[in-house]
A = this chain, B = another copy of it.
Amino acid sequence: MYIRQQNSITPEVVHALSPLLDLLPMEERRMLERSAEVVEYKRHEPIYNEGESPNHLYVVLDGAVKVYRQGVCGRCQIMRMLGAGSFFGYRASLAHEPYVTGATAFGPATICCVPMNLIHQVMAKCPSVMKFFVEELAKDLGVSDKRMVSLTQKHVRGRIAESLLTMREVFGLDTEGFIDLDLTRQELADYSNMTTSNAIRTISALVSENVISVKDKRIKLLEDELLLRISLMG
C-alpha cells in the first residue's frame, strides 16, 4: 500500500468520484476533494479486514477488488467483485457496525479513499448524497437476494456460467475479447461457492465444449446464449 503523496486529485479521481461530487455544493465539493487520498495496492494486498471498524469510503480508480467473507473453518466466500468506478467499504459505517467482510486487491489496483466521517457530514447536509447511498444499498440488496438463491440452488455448472456472465458484465472485455480480469481457478471457486477442483474441471469441460476459451489467466465467452441457458437451468 502506497499513498500517493501529492497531486492526488487528478482528473481521473474527479471523474471516478463524480457520482458523489456532482451532488455537492462548491464548499463541500472542495472539502471532499481535499481529503480524498489515492492509494496504490499491490496484488492480494488487503484494503480492509473483517471485524475492523470502518473508517473510509473507497472508490476503485483502476484494477479490480474482491469483497469476501471467511466462513466455516476459514473457507473464503467472495461476495462481490468490483471494477473501476465502484464504491465500496461504506456499508458497515452506515450500519454503525464493524466490517462483516474484508476487501483485497485482485491485481495491482488504484483506490481512492475518503474518510467516512466526512461522508456522514456531507450526507447530513446534502439529501441527494444520502439518496445516492439509499439507491446503492437498495440495489445491492436486490442483487444479494438473487445471488443467494443462485449460490444455494444452482449446480456447479450453472454457478460457473453465472459467475462468468457477471464477471464480463463487471469488468468488460480486453482488446482481444477476453474478460478483463486475471483470476485463478481458486478465486473463481471462492466466488462460485465450490472447491478449486470443481472450478478447474468445469472450466476445462466448457473449454473442450468450445463454450469458452482460455488464454493465460483470461477467459473468453464464445457461446453467450448457451452460457445463459446453463446459468438459468441451474
Residues of chain A having any CB pair with chain B under 8 Å: 69, 71-73, 75, 77, 79, 91-92, 94-97, 100-101, 123-124, 127, 130-131, 133-135, 137-142, 144-154, 158, 193, 233-234
Contacts and interface: CB of A to CB of B under 8 A. Distances in A.
A193 B152 contact: yes
So how many copies of this chain end up in the complex?
2
A76 to B, nearest CB: 9
Residue with the greatest number of chain B CB neighbours at <10 A, chosen from A77, A94, A145, A150: A145
Overall SS of chain A's interface: helix
Contacts of A127: 123-124, 127, 130
Contacts of A234: 72-73
Given A94-B134, A138-B137, A153-B71, A147 B148 contact: yes
Given A152-B71, A153-B71, A138 B101 contact: no
Contacts of A72: 149, 153-154, 158, 233-234
B148 A77 contact: yes
A144 B141 contact: yes
Contact of A141 (B131, B140, B152): B140
